[in-house]
Amino acid sequence: MAKEGAQRAEETEQMIEKDGGKEGAEGSAAGSLRAGDTKEMRAVVLSAFGGLNKLRVSKKAMPEPQEGELKIRVKACGLNFIDLMVRQGNIDNPPKTPLVPGFECSGIVEALGDSVKGFEIGDRVMAFVNYNAWAEVVCTPVEFVYKIPDDMSFSEAAAFPMNFVTAYMMLFEVANLREGMSVLVHSAGGGVGQAVAQLCSTIPNVTVFGTASSFKHEAIKDSVTHLFDRNADYVQEVKRVSTDGVDIVLDCLCGENTGKGLSLLKPLGTYILYGSSNMVTGETKSFFSFAKSWWQVEKVNPIKLYEENKVIAGFSLLNLLFKQNRGGLIKGVMDKLLNLYTNKKIKPMVDSLWALEEV
């Protein structure tokens, strides 16, 4: 099955690249469409929160760009852990269903809204989208769109924004990573985990401790300094290597790992919570597992933080983009990341590729 999946991914990749020029030409023609034209597209629709049976590919009205927006013919879109949480309704203030999931994509500019500057029809781009990315066409404000480097594929571009911006901002904007520091990252085999490891390698003498499921170890063993099984007692393992702990903890698990992470912090260390994957178990949400995970979160005592000289922080890229209007800040980070990519310091890792109907 693994071989079969790899073959399918390769075929899909070839199909995406093969269609690139064709889509660009079609995009130029479609740029003259008026908003009143009745056109349809395919999209993955979540009809209600729950299991996989709530997802289906449906026809929807073709969106047209409003002022300040770009219309993008999607070539690839990202599937992130937040999408699983959305599917289960396991997020704060979830939107009403039906909805089209997805927060990042890559593709070709097909039309420009009024007042859009800096882009042309036919440009290869990647973008953040406030939902709706799992569709053949999306519209999103120009501030969330970035041009793709010539040597980056559409599939790589769809795996780039969420993972690398999240990793970069936590390491450098929040935790102030510097030479000689140490970092513990959970889910080291995931998109953000791999981005963290790559970015840490751009700074001299940074030690990366990672936890991951054992079946992922072979694939990622060279990207982290010390790799542990996620079910092992990683606190003791880390202390065996570094008796005084680590400078930065990046926690996407939550639950009982919160207390463990804080216990591993050195004085002046920073613990960052950026997800809660322990809240998602199985195909559908279980109230009991959800409640158990929250009860396992160690209550933070501000006086203890003061006495131990520790920093606790949270990070949500989507809130920063879509609720707190920090698109300009994110653009500056993307510029730095694309420079690192151009200089071959970092590279997005694509796990697999799937057709829309297989989502």
Quick: pLDDT tens for 310-326. Answer: 999 999 999 999 999 99
CA distance 119 to 49: 37
Q: 76-114: per-residue pLDDT in tens?
A: 999 998 898 899 887 877 889 999 999 999 999 999 999
Query: For the CA atoms of the chain, what is the radius of gyration?
Result: 21
SS3 210: strand
Rounded mean pLDDT of 36-63? 89
Peptide bond into 98 cis (omega under 30): yes
d(CA 193, CA 223): 10
- Choice between 68 and 50, residue whose per-residue pLDDT is larger: 68
Residue 183 is which amino acid?
V
pLDDT at 13 over 50: no
pLDDT band at 37 (very low <50, low <70, confident <90, very high): very low
Asked whether the domain spanning 162-319 has the same topology as the one spanning 40-147, the reply is no
Q: How many residues does the chain have?
A: 359
Q: Which of 205, 75, 268, 87 is nearest to 153 (CA)?
A: 75
Number of Cβ within 10 Å of residue 299's Cβ equals 6
pLDDT, residue 320, reads 95
pLDDT category, 287, cuts 50, 70, 90? low
For 127, the 3-state DSSP assignment is strand
What sign for the dihedral angle of Cα 122, 123, 124, 125? negative
Render pLDDT for 189-242 as a digit per residue (tens, 0 to 9). Answer: 999 999 999 999 999 999 999 999 888 888 888 899 999 998 889 999 999 999
Does residue 349 contact residue 159 with C-beta atoms inside 8 Å? yes
Question: Which residue type, as a one-letter code, is found at position 122?
Answer: G
> What is the biggest distance separating any 2 CA atoms in the chain, rounded to whole angstroms?
66
Separation of alpha carbons 58 and 40, rounded Å: 10
CATH code of domain 162-319: 3.40.50.720
Whole-angstrom distance, CA of residue 4 vs CA of residue 311: 47
Lowest-confidence pick of 15-29, 145-159, 328-342? 15-29
Average pLDDT of span 256-267: 90
Residue in 64, 57, 317 with CA at minimum distance from that of residue 195? 317
Question: The whole model's pTM is what?
Answer: 0.85
Q: For the packed helices 2-18 and 20-30, what is the interaxial angle rounded to 10 degrees?
A: 50
Spell out the domain ranges in the chain.
40-147, 162-319
Amino acid identity for residue 293 in this structure: S
Is the CATH number of domain 40-147 3.40.50.1000? Answer: no
**Mean pLDDT of all residues belonging to the chain:** 85
Spatial neighbors of 343 by CB under 8 A, at least 6 apart, are none
Instruction: Number of helices (H) and strands (E) in the chain: give both, helices first.
Output: 13, 13
What single DSSP character describes residue 54? Answer: G
